[in-house]
Amino acid sequence: MSEKPFTGTAFYAFLKEHKLMGARCPTCGAIYAPPRPFCPACFNAELEWVELSGAGRLASYSVIVIAPTAMIEAGYGREHPYCSGVVELAEGPCISAQILGVDVAHPETIAIGTPVKVAFIERGEGEAQKTFLGFEVVP
Amino acid sequence: MQRKPGRGVAIVGAGMSKFGAFPGLATRDLFVEAFRELLASVDKGFDARDIEALYIGNFSSDLFEGQAHTAPIMADWVGLTPRPATRVEDACASSGVAFREGLIAIASGLYDIVLVGGIEKMTDLPTARVTDTLATAADVTYETPAGFTFPGLYASMATAYLHAYGATPEAFLKVGLKNHENGALNPKAQFGQRIADIIEARKASAAKKGKPIPTWADELAFLNDERANPVIAWPLRLYDCSPISDGAAALLLVSEELARRFTDAPLYVIGSGQASDGATHDRPTLTGIPAAQRAAQLAYAMAGVTSADIQLAEVHDCFTIAEIMATEDLGFFAPGEGWRAAIEGRTARTGDRPINTSGGLKSKGHPVGASGAGQVVEIWKQLRGEAGARQLPGEPCLGLTHNVGGTGQTCVVHIFERR
């Protein structure tokens, strides 16, 4: 469905189009998100792109108070903590993402296993504008 | 087939700088401090010019100090050029892996006498840039864009652990309390204070400034107080995290047949295992570290011992949850039981499974590239009966080190025997 190489650049270019894309191994059927150029399960090097449903559940998380520079520039930090987590996608693989729609003031209320769906987070302006992967709690 | 080294290797000298924050001291200065102590530690003395090669663990002097290519500088500053000097970088496991490279070099027959070092100078940068630099040990394409910091990644393993096993964060606080107890007995530790000492210091400081004197019912109340112990990445608080540190450590490795020329009490390296892994989210479990489990299996098999035989261990407690997972990954406790063992005091110096008698990374300090070599220094002292006030009773003869890079993209385990 795409001739793009299986790179991080391509993954983020798809995110910009609001598509969460993974790689599928036609030989063994394994799905990889983030995408990979090479199947570590069966050593096949001819993978194909697959668009993922964006549905998943929260596998782990943290509410981060001491933020890295990139998140401070995005407006987060001591006064505005944010949630990052690992999401187990409906298709099987797990991926890291910012988690939206949770009560960061009460992290103990955030529940592992909560259903989430993909969200596309725009940061930066002009040339520096980039789309980041997020998931939000399904209401 | 379980492979063994081509020939045996022993440690005959060890030294470390004090760990802490040392404005004005660069990695080379700290390394010289460690090397001086190493020279003094060789019981029968030796000529440093007999050293044939250096392997130096260093995570990121490039970003911390603006200085790359650090191994030849260390060789130069201790008078050992033109001998080959190789830098080893595997994040926080850099000097654990450098140790293994030194072991392999001697086992291969290429060298008889090798210097292994570890160095890091972290405190020149502001905290946000230290956080950024540490985060380069994670996957910068797929993990850090999610907002993950290093405390954040370990915190996410902590929430997975709490959820899977019904554990309570009190277990994490107990690990911190225990490691501060041990570090208070280690003159090289960054925090030479128990939590109780820190509470008294806070009260004294408030009194001196004429401010209201804070009170806490006990140490756990202090650790549960958001003002005294703020959240860094929930559920991990300040006292769950190892500090930002400067430091260096140095070890002298020789072939087994030469060992007694240097000392009558060498430590023999009987097991070595190393493993790699992908990003945190790509692993089959978030409640343990698969590379640590694998490295431990390899080291136990090489040594011909089991986890039950190990009498003390220095494990990679960059965060308190990491120590609990380590005690499970190493087979000391069953999966899901490490947190109970911590609460029950089984990992204290007086427990049946003493862990991190040095104070661990938590209290001793965590100059990341020096931490793996620093762990070996503690095993050297404990197995030779030289650990002073924190010395374990009963003349232990079998010790283990467990050094993790990143969140477990690298793990290296070594087993040491005093015969």
Paired with A117 in beta bridges are: A55, A136
Q: Tell whether B324 is within 8 A of chain A (Cβ).
A: no
| Per-position DSSP letters for B3-45, written without gaps between them | ---SS-EEEEEEEEPPPB--TT--HHHHHHHHHHHHHHH-TT-
Q: How confident is the model at residue B179 (pLDDT cuts 50, 70, 90)?
A: very high
Domain that holds residue A44: 8-51
Q: Tell whether B152 is within 8 A of chain A (Cβ).
A: yes
Amino acid at A26: P
- On whether both A39 and A74 belong to a single domain, the answer is no
Residue B312, pLDDT above cutoff 80: yes
- On whether both A29 and A97 belong to a single domain, the answer is no
Nearest by Cα to B342 from B166, B179, B151, B155:
B179
Cis peptide before B393 (omega within 30 of 0): no
Q: Tell whether B394 is within 8 A of chain A (Cβ).
A: no
Q: Tell whether A70 is within 8 A of chain B (Cβ).
A: yes
Neighbours of A106 (CB within 10 A): 10
B398-407: per-residue pLDDT in tens? 999 999 999 9
**Please, what's the b/e burial string for B47-69 (b: 16 or more CB within 10 A of its CB; e: otherwise)?**
ebeebbbbbbbbbbbebbbeeee
Q: What is the model's pLDDT at position B166?
A: 96
Query: What are the distances in angstroms from CA B401 to CA A119, B306, B309, B316?
Result: 43, 14, 14, 8
Question: Is A87 among the domain residues?
Answer: yes
Least confident stretch, A118-122, B78-82, B124-128, B306-310: B124-128
The average pLDDT across A19-39 equals 95
- On whether both A96 and A133 belong to a single domain, the answer is yes
A1 Cα to chain B: minimum distance (Å): 23
The average pLDDT across A15-36 equals 96
B94 Cα to chain A: minimum distance (Å): 23
Question: Is A88 among the domain residues?
Answer: yes
Neighbours of B98 (CB within 10 A): 31
What predicted TM-score, i.e. pTM, was given to this entire model? 0.97
DSSP B243: P
Across the interface, which of B131, B142, B280 has its CB nearest the CB of A66?
A: B131
Residue A84, pLDDT above cutoff 90: yes
- On whether both A14 and A60 belong to a single domain, the answer is no
Contacts of B100 (CB under 8 A, 6+ apart): B272, B274, B412, B414
**Residues in chain A closer than 8 A to B135 (CB atoms):** 68
Q: What is the model's pLDDT at position B220?
A: 93
Question: Is A1 among the domain residues?
Answer: no
Cross-chain residue pair A65–B280, CB shorter than 8 Å: no
- On whether both A75 and A17 belong to a single domain, the answer is no
Cis peptide before A5 (omega within 30 of 0): no
Query: What are the distances in angstroms from CA A103 to CA A111, B7, B233, B306?
Result: 11, 58, 14, 45
Cross-chain residue pair B155–A62, CB shorter than 8 Å: yes
Residue B125, pLDDT above cutoff 60: yes
Residue B143, pLDDT above cutoff 60: yes
Residue B207, pLDDT above cutoff 70: yes
Residue B67, pLDDT above cutoff 70: yes
- The mean of the pLDDT values for chain A is 95
Q: Tell whether A133 is within 8 A of chain B (Cβ).
A: yes
Q: Tell whether A97 is within 8 A of chain B (Cβ).
A: yes
Q: What is the model's pLDDT at position B4?
A: 86
Q: What is the model's pLDDT at position B380?
A: 98
Amino acid at A40: P
Domain count within chain A: 2
- On whether both A95 and A60 belong to a single domain, the answer is yes
Cross-chain residue pair B233–A70, CB shorter than 8 Å: no
Question: Is A17 among the domain residues?
Answer: yes
Cross-chain residue pair B146–A133, CB shorter than 8 Å: yes
A91, A127 in Cβ contact below 8 A?
A: no
Q: How confident is the model at residue B1 (pLDDT cuts 50, 70, 90)?
A: low
Question: Is A2 among the domain residues?
Answer: no
B407, B325 in Cβ contact below 8 A?
A: no
- On whether both A100 and A85 belong to a single domain, the answer is yes
Question: Is A94 among the domain residues?
Answer: yes
Paired with B417 in beta bridges are: B268, B398
ipTM, two decimals:
0.97
- On whether both A63 and A44 belong to a single domain, the answer is no
B156, A62 in Cβ contact below 8 A?
A: yes
Cross-chain residue pair B158–A62, CB shorter than 8 Å: yes
Dist CA B194 CA B196 (whole Å): 5
Residue B240, pLDDT above cutoff 80: yes
- On whether both A75 and A118 belong to a single domain, the answer is yes
Residue B2, pLDDT above cutoff 80: no
SS3 category, A32: strand
- On whether both A71 and A128 belong to a single domain, the answer is yes
- On whether both A73 and A121 belong to a single domain, the answer is yes
Test the B interface: residue of A7, A36, A60, A123 with most B CBs within 10 Å: A60
Dist CA B185 CA A63 (whole Å): 34
Test the A interface: residue of B132, B163, B236, B281 with most A CBs within 10 Å: B281
Question: Is A34 among the domain residues?
Answer: yes
Positions of B annotated as catalytic residues are 92, 366
B248 Cα to chain A: minimum distance (Å): 26
- On whether both A63 and A120 belong to a single domain, the answer is yes
DSSP B102: H
Cross-chain residue pair B131–A82, CB shorter than 8 Å: no
- Comparison of pLDDT for B167 and A128, the residue scoring more: B167
Q: What is the model's pLDDT at position B198?
A: 94
Question: Is A3 among the domain residues?
Answer: no
